[in-house]
Amino acid sequence: MQFKHPELLYALFALLIPIIIHLFQLRKFKKEVFTNVAFLKKVTSQTRKSSQLKKWLILTARMLLLAALILAFAQPYTSKTNTFNTKKETVIYLDNSFSMQAKGEQGELFKRAIQDLIENIDESEKITLFTNNATYRNTSIDAIKNELLQLDFAPSQLSYDAVLLKCKNLFSPDSGILKQAIIISDFQIKETQFNPSLDSIININTVQLKPVSTNNLQIDSLFISNQTATNLELTVNIINQGNVIENVPVSLYSEGQLITKTSINIEETAVANFTLSRDQKIIGEIVIDDSNLPFDNSLFFNINKPNKAKVLSISESNEDFLKRVYTDGEFQLNSTILNELNYSQIENQNLIILNELESIPSSLKTALISYTNNGGFVLIIPSTNNSLQTYNDFLLSYNIQMSPINKTEKKVTTINYSHPLYSDVFNKRVTNFQYPKVSSYYPINSRNTTAPLQFEDGNPFLASTSNVFVFASALNSENSNFKNSPLIVPTLYNIGKQSLKTSNLYYTIGEENTFDIPVILQQDEILSLSFGEENIIPQQQYFNNKVSIITNEIPTIAGTYNVNNKTELIENVSYNYNRKESSLQYQDLSSINHINQSDSVAKLFDTLKSDSKINELWKWFVIFALVFLAIEMLILKYFK
């Protein structure tokens, strides 16, 4: 039992007053003369005994009466928590990730959670509510009801640590406030699990919503598996989490029109193949039918008219190996010797190759530095008899220096598989292959560079900055067999592809994506992305002959977007939601003992209201006071 006004309890000391009065006889007795002494002793004895009992009963009744009145004015109450005169703050996290599309016993988990919040929170109660992409601070459920009902799913989800940190930051710093953090989620298994530390200030409450079924059919990925001169073959990977399904229809649409359809039988994984004409413009969408999670039932992609990367080879050696790599289908290769170089062509190229030049003249050095500063790529293959000083004068701008030639045979033994040149080349790490070797090389000293390929002693065979690549040796047949190595094609090919990053079939929303648009813009012109009513301006960087576009948090809606220069459509780019939310596996929270757990929003709020309910007892003490008053009156009147 607790008291609203505990200071009034000091009045209980007033109970000493009737005790003192009853303990001391203040009344004076009058003498009377009796002739029968025996009779006098009998009367006196009986009177004193009955009078003494009556006094003690009256004393008890009065003390209980006063005590009841004092306690009534102190306003006693009972509660599971000390909530009287304690301010309360409630912060609610509502998970609106795509996994909350799953169906529970009362419908979609996310929509049911919103409805339960509206029904169980007092309309005037101040709360703070946030989702993965929105925050409503110090408001009421009545004020944000319409916004909650219109909430949509977010393509990215806050980590559990980020949710707990945001809850903490949204509370006021006042330590005298009762703080309730409510986390409503399905608690899907992620890289980091939900495991809050014990907090003496913030009460953590969880509502884990679970679907009735964890089965799910999803489109996982799409890629071009084969190409001919006239056709290309698309392969769609489909994943099934559940029982075997037969005759699953898989449809291919382009610009909303059904192009072709197939069906598959699927246990855990399956593929669907589609053959398309290479000349056919595709703004495509792959669609399957599954009622569990709608967001992964479609995958957008597009095939643009291929843009050829412009490659200029400035050679003083055989360049047939370049022609075999930079074929006409994807590249536009032009060759020249140094003496016939047209310097005005440099700024229009995507990649310039210095193929075993004996020296780099100062005019070429100046042009190349300006060219690389504007996003151009340079590949340097040194000559065995080069003017080292002219090379170093140029490379100094990129913190690369070449030492005098070392005529010791070396093997190239190390591949940096994480380097962008090889990130999608190897299915597994190669441990046994014919190592290419060189007869002589220039030791490369560099800062802020990476080494996609290394010699057996760990020194770079190929060094790179963001857009400059330098081989440590000449690649002619007399000095190296690298031309005959399987590494030559992916290395040179990917350097060429990096020089003009044409858009992929599709990108994933929430990841950092970069692609180049080969367009020349006028001053103050910018590119925009549009899809339906969506019109966004992405981060972009303008170079002489291209615009590099970088997207991360935007766009937020899956679809195929137009890349526009004002009203001119240049090409298309497609975005899809991350498939991490497709796995319907959930964390078991039962091992976390220091949080309040529930499986429904309604149950949690019933518990919180019960814990904070105040049972006032002052009325009972008033009744007790009246009862004791009545008892005293009865004693005075009827007790003889």
| Residue 631: exposure state from Cβ atoms within 10 A (0-12, 13-18, ≥19) | middle
For residue 63, the model assigns a pLDDT of 77
- The reply to whether 361 and 493 lie within a common domain is yes
N-term to C-term CA, the chain: 39
- The reply to whether 134 and 275 lie within a common domain is no
Instruction: Give the global pTM.
Output: 0.73
In-domain check, residue 359: yes
- The reply to whether 253 and 269 lie within a common domain is yes
Neighbouring C-alpha atoms within 13 Å toward the C-beta of 504: 12
In-domain check, residue 303: no
For residue 602, the model assigns a pLDDT of 84
- The reply to whether 266 and 202 lie within a common domain is no
Q: Supply the CATH number for residue 531's domain.
A: 2.60.40
Q: 107 Cβ partners below 8 Å, 6+ apart?
A: none
- The reply to whether 31 and 140 lie within a common domain is no
In-domain check, residue 545: yes
For residue 508, the model assigns a pLDDT of 93
- The reply to whether 124 and 169 lie within a common domain is yes
Range of the domain at 140: 88-213+584-613
- The reply to whether 279 and 203 lie within a common domain is no
The letter for the amino acid at 478 is: E
- The reply to whether 28 and 113 lie within a common domain is no
- The reply to whether 486 and 344 lie within a common domain is yes
In-domain check, residue 222: no
The letter for the amino acid at 116 is: D
Q: Supply the CATH number for residue 129's domain.
A: 3.40.50.410
Question: Of 564, 579, 594, which residue sits at a domain end?
Answer: 579
For residue 620, the model assigns a pLDDT of 74
Q: 270 Cβ partners below 8 Å, 6+ apart?
A: 238, 240, 248, 264
In-domain check, residue 354: yes
CA-based nearest residue to 391, from 438, 443, 437, 326 = 443
- The reply to whether 201 and 318 lie within a common domain is no
In-domain check, residue 317: yes
- The reply to whether 97 and 233 lie within a common domain is no
Q: 402 Cβ partners below 8 Å, 6+ apart?
A: 382, 388, 391, 392, 395, 442, 443, 444, 445, 470, 472
- The reply to whether 109 and 181 lie within a common domain is yes
Q: Supply the CATH number for residue 344's domain.
A: 3.40.50.880
The domain tally of the chain equals 5
Phi, psi angles (nearest 5°) of residue 141: -65, -30
At residue 292's C-alpha, the angle toward residues 291 and 298, to 5°, is 70
Q: How far from the centroid of its chain's Cα atoms is residue 340's Cα?
A: 55
Question: Of 297, 331, 356, which residue sits at a domain end?
Answer: 297
Question: Of 432, 464, 499, which residue sits at a domain end?
Answer: 499
In-domain check, residue 218: no
CA-based nearest residue to 101, from 275, 248, 296 = 296
Query: Chunked in runs of 10, what are the mean pLDDT values of the chain (640 residues)?
Result: 68 73 58 59 55 73 76 69 66 92 89 90 87 90 90 89 91 82 90 81 88 90 82 90 88 91 89 84 89 90 86 86 87 89 88 91 91 90 88 90 90 86 73 81 86 89 90 90 88 89 88 88 87 90 86 91 90 92 88 85 78 65 78 72
In-domain check, residue 268: yes
